[in-house]
Amino acid sequence: ETGVTQSPTHLIKTRGQQVTLRCSSQSGHNTVSWYQQALGQGPQFIFQYYREEENGRGNFPPRFSGLQFPNYSSELNVNALELDDSALYLCASSSASGFDGYTFGSGTRLTVV
Amino acid sequence: GQQLNQSPQSMFIQEGEDVSMNCTSSSIFNTWLWYKQDPGEGPVLLIALYKAGELTSNGRLTAQFGITRKDSFLNISASIPSDVGIYFCAGLNSGAGSYQLTFGKGTKLSVIP
């Protein structure tokens, strides 16, 4: 059973640029969620995707968007990057048949300069 | 965004000592979870609590879901060096297939051999 894999592991971008982060869900999981974890904080829910559609969103602006593909993998896109977007971005997958606590990936560390 | 009130922020304990940490919320949750995060990794689920008043153990870990559904605690008995890490509580909001976790800011545990 493969876990959740995220790429890249680290990324440095300039303010105003756009970034795409990628996630492959755990085998058998069809729901993917994205979280932002700033330094010294707990993860904050960005949104969740199920059946290639967003079905839950946290308090993040529209410049945070996502996609889910037929193989359940997912992308997180952030436009017009701001310095405060610097964080660890975590992908988590779960089964739609019932919440089992999520399986988190190791995250992508994004630094905006 | 909302975060749960988790205390203490950090703890230094001797190997073999017991540890207790807790989490409170102004909102009711139907599920409480406790995660551990090691450096460079995503959170890993330790214990899930599904019913108010529930007391659940997982090895040396014991957690309780408060009767008001607004709090939870985690105890670790006979701590060992590999218990070092950051412990997060999380409350689950679920509806229409969407699973959204609200996390605390974490308790950083250091174990002195």
Q: Is B102 on the interface with A (CB under 8 A)?
A: yes
As beta bridge partners, residue A10 has A109
Per-residue b or e along B51-83, where b marks 16 or more CB atoms closer than 10 Å to that residue's CB: ebebebeeeebbbbbbeebbbbbbebeebeeeb
Mind telling me how many Å the CA of B87 is from chain A's nearest CA? 10
* pLDDT tier at B91, thresholds 50, 70, 90: very high
> Hey, which residues 26-65 in chain A have their CB within 8 Å of chain B?
31, 33, 35, 40-45, 48, 50, 55-56, 58-59
Record: contact B99-A56, CB cut-off 8 A: yes
Record: contact A106-B41, CB cut-off 8 A: yes
Task: Decide if pLDDT at B31 tops 70.
Answer: yes
Task: Decide if pLDDT at B96 tops 90.
Answer: no
Summarize pLDDT for A87-109 with one digit per residue, the tens. 999 999 988 666 777 899 999 99
The overall average pLDDT reported for chain B is 93
> Hey, which residues 90-109 in chain A have their CB within 8 Å of chain B?
90, 92, 94, 96, 99, 101-102, 104-107
- CA dist A112 and B39 (Å) reads 21
* pLDDT tier at A39, thresholds 50, 70, 90: very high
> Hey, which residues 28-87 in chain B have their CB within 8 Å of chain A?
31, 33, 40-45, 48
Task: Give the end-to-end CA distance of chain A in Å, rounded to a whole number.
Answer: 37
Summarize pLDDT for B75-87 with one digit per residue, the tens. 999 999 999 999 9
User: What phi and psi, each to the nearest 5 degrees, are found at residue A77?
Assistant: -115, 135
Task: Decide if pLDDT at A2 tops 80.
Answer: no
Give the pLDDT mean for A40-65.
94
